[in-house]
Amino acid sequence: MSTPDHERPVILSCGDPSGIGPELAARAWEHFGARLPFVWLGDPAHLPRGTKIREIAQPSEAVTHSGSALPVLPHAFPAAARPGDPDPENARAVIDVIARGVDLVMRGEGSALTTAPIHKKALKDGAGFAFPGHTEFLAHLAGVERVVMMLASSNIKPPLRVVPATIHIGLSEVPSTLTPQLLRDTVRITNAGLRADFGFTMPRIAIAGLNPHAGEGGAMGREELDWIRDEIASLRAEGFALSGPLPADTLFHDRARSRYDAVICAYHDQALIPIKTLDFDGGVNVTLGLPFVRTSPDHGTAYDIAGQGRANPASLIAALEMAARMGAARHG
């Protein structure tokens, strides 16, 4: 039996303890207190000295204790955390914490999972981590074949939610990787996520063209004419509220954003440059298509400033807030 909704906090996995994750967790608790209970899953010794903590045995206890201390579900690590200098001995524990966080939310003990940043190379070198990143590992743990990455703003109006259909590949690979099946899958998963986790009954989704000016009638590329336009029409006939293909250079200003709830872009930079320009500190990484809610801050481990107290907690705060709202929408 899962924990009652009002006793399910957000689970925050610690990420790389040598990065900025621990100090951001402490500052996020200072920001929220009892207003948004969350549980930090990691080694208490890795948190900044002086952080008020309360070690707990199960996530539901966070609701009681978050007003006076940061609730911590202890997970022992073999080595100390040296800011900016990841210890290979800790790599396996970082991976295990992610898996433990997934287990907690899938068993209904947490409303959502927020993940602090990891360093993929450090995990690969220290523990043979076999995944490109968090997202692929989470999909593996959940037994899901296809997930979608969304970046969502928290500080701008109208809001911006972007989905890159292709992600970490070279630009030359995008035209062959962006297939009708990939676009269909991305539309369906995005639509389902907007309905389940953001509360839209009929999500409006814009589709950016692959080429400049969406091909300009074939003068700047033919993919829009050859198949993208027809694929959008077919999906629209199935009942999806789609527009496009639209020129990406006029898709992100205020008036344009008011006409859609999310935009699916052809490739990584087409999606991420606008949101990082418009809301650099408030962007949240959301994984759609999982059987649980997952968010993360839109930045990395920042080894260069770790342990110096200079890291901005805004993105982690936004990620926790968004996770709580999405968890309430999904479970409500």
What's the topology of domain 156-278?
Answer: Isopropylmalate Dehydrogenase (3.40.718)
326 touches 295 (CB < 8 A)? yes
- 3-state secondary structure (DSSP) of residue 71: strand
CATH superfamily, domain at 1-147+289-332 = Isopropylmalate Dehydrogenase (3.40.718.10)
Encoded tokens for 128: 């043979």
Q: pLDDT per residue over 192-224, tens digit each? A: 999 999 999 999 999 999 999 999 999 999 999
Start-end of CATH 3.40.718.10 domains in the chain: 1-147+289-332, 156-278
Residue 6 pLDDT: 65
* Reported pTM: 0.94
Rounded distance, CA 85 to CA 52, Å? 25
Strands 53-55, 112-115: pairing kind: unpaired
Q: pLDDT per residue over 77-126, tens digit each? A: 999 999 999 999 999 999 999 999 999 999 999 999 999 999 999 999 99
Residue 95 pLDDT: 97
260 touches 80 (CB < 8 A)? no
Residue bearing tokens 């500052």: 27
Q: Residues near 69 by Cβ (< 8 Å), separated by ≥ 6?
A: 29, 52, 53, 54
- 3-state secondary structure (DSSP) of residue 322: helix
How many residues appear in the chain? 332
Rounded distance, CA 119 to CA 295, Å? 17
Residues annotated within a binding site for substrate = 134-135, 276, 285, 294
Low-confidence residues of the chain, pLDDT below 50?
Answer: 1
Rounded distance, CA 322 to CA 326, Å? 6
141 touches 102 (CB < 8 A)? yes
Rounded distance, CA 163 to CA 146, Å? 14
Residue 4 pLDDT: 61
Residues annotated within a binding site for a divalent metal cation = 168, 213, 268
Residues annotated within a binding site = 134-135, 168, 213, 268, 276, 285, 294
Residue 198's nearest CA partner among 310, 309, 293, 131 is: 293
Residue 252's nearest CA partner among 189, 171, 162 is: 162
